Amino acid sequence: MATRDILVLYYSHTGAVRQMAQLVARGIEKVPEMRARLRTVPRVSSVAEAVEPQVPDSGAPYAELRDLEECAGLALGSPTRFGNMAAPLKYFLDTTSSLWLKGTLSGKPAALFTSTASLHGGQESTLLSMMLPLLHHGMLIVGLPYSEPELMTTRSGGSPYGASHLAGVNADQPVSEEERRLCIALGTRLASVAMRLAP
């Protein structure tokens, strides 16, 4: 069987969501024949003339629309910004109208992950609001079931709506063991569903 890619598309400013993306990717690659394709998006600026370089200095390449076309599923990760996803990711999603018109993403599975500074700072609202554009695209949302025991025992991140992490006010909290397991479980679940749905 041909290898299939799952797009792990994320934005991260201070590194927490990037770390989660790598764990989700690890979970994806536990499923035979499934491969994670890590992509990020450039920052956006209120200064219209300011542009990012075409290729990032380090880390994952910037996403293109063809990444969404080619992949069998999507894991979307963003820091929480005022209870919602970060603007750079929203900006990229706002360029996907041509895919929406063609129904390119319709029927593909998607999963969400986020990181916050504070425990009740909006992890769940961010995960839920990140689902909205994906539902408009006809994507099938994959969450985390309570058969994952860490959902009951976590003292920081982790939600049935997706993976999450409490990074702390100084962005210095390591990904806890429960958060780590749930990121991996989310990637594995997404890739398993994609495998079952793929033609």
Binding site for ligand FMN (CB under 6 A): 12-18, 79-83, 115-118, 121-122, 167, 171
CB of 128 to ligand FMN, least distance (A): 14
Which residue of the chain is nearest ligand FMN when measured via CB? 121
CB of 119 to ligand FMN, least distance (A): 8
Nearer to ligand FMN, 135 or 171 (CB): 171
Three-state SS sequence of 83-149: CECCHHHHHHHCCCHHHHHHCCCCCCEEEEEEEECCCCCCHHHHHHHHHHHHHHCCCEECCCCCCCC
Nearer to ligand FMN, 58 or 97 (CB): 58
Residue with tokens 């910037």: 62
CB of 31 to ligand FMN, least distance (A): 25
Cα distances (Å, whole numbers) of residue 170 to 16, 99, 116, 117, 118: 11, 38, 11, 8, 10
Q: Read off φ and ψ for residue 69, nearest 5 degrees.
A: -65, -45
CB of 162 to ligand FMN, least distance (A): 14
Three-class SS of residue 4? strand
CB of 56 to ligand FMN, least distance (A): 14
Residue with tokens 């939600």: 159
16-28 helix and 177-197 helix, angle to the nearest 10 degrees: 50
Nearer to ligand FMN, 34 or 92 (CB): 92
DSSP H or E stretch at residue 141:
strand 140-141
Q: Read off φ and ψ for residue 103, nearest 5 degrees.
A: 70, 30
Nearer to ligand FMN, 171 or 197 (CB): 171
Nearer to ligand FMN, 106 or 118 (CB): 118
Nearer to ligand FMN, 17 or 71 (CB): 17
CB of 117 to ligand FMN, least distance (A): 4
